[in-house]
Amino acid sequence: MISRTLLRMENRYLTGKERSDLQGYLTTARTRRSALDEARRTSVQIADNVITNMRRRYPQFAQHRPQGFDKGHRDLVLLTHMTANAMFLGETDTIDDMFTHWYKSILKGVHLTPQFMNDTFTLWLEGMEKTFTETTYDLMRPVAEHMASMLSDLPASGKDEIGERRAAV
């Protein structure tokens, strides 16, 4: 929020709306900082819950990708941290430029199905709602929904990487 506003200023004074937006952001800075700390503190717990549920839903995934759940756990912790950072900044443009587009290209490369990604992000969002305090969840939810939407918008892969492999007919 602050960096975006300052970059747009280009040696001019703030407009009334920009000043109001900036003041609104600054009044929530302490609350945002507490939410950032809470998200970092609980990110492993959220990732643990997502991976536990994904192991139940997709028991054959580990046969095809032996390190998939471990890497997914690491990535969910990172994603929670990046989402918290974006929430603290008060905008998603910076995080999209620095992280989301890059990470989306990685997800495309590993050929996970759209259903797998949707299930993962649904569990991730539910985990946040259950784990975070109401205030933290209210701050994190819009950014988390943005991240989930951006990252789950993947084309369907040619092969089913998460389910049972079928013999060629």
What lies within 8 Å, CB to CB, of 160 at 6+ separation is: 113, 166
| Segment 28-63, tens digit of pLDDT | 889 999 999 999 999 999 999 999 999 999 988 888
Q: How many domains does the chain have?
A: 1
Can you give the residue range of the structural domain that contains 65?
33-152
| Segment 127-169, tens digit of pLDDT | 999 999 999 999 999 999 999 999 988 766 555 555 444 444 4
Res. 73 pLDDT band, cuts 50 70 90: very high
Taking the C-alpha atoms of residue 85 and residue 87, their distance in angstroms, rounded to an integer, is 5
Asked if the structure places residue 107 within a domain, the reply is yes
Asked if the structure places residue 160 within a domain, the reply is no
Residues 12 and 102: beta-carbon distance below 8 Å:
no
- Check which CATH number belongs to the domain holding 91 and give it: 1.10.490.20
Asked if the structure places residue 103 within a domain, the reply is yes
Asked if the structure places residue 148 within a domain, the reply is yes
What pTM does this model have? 0.80
Asked if the structure places residue 49 within a domain, the reply is yes
Asked if the structure places residue 157 within a domain, the reply is no
Asked if the structure places residue 19 within a domain, the reply is no
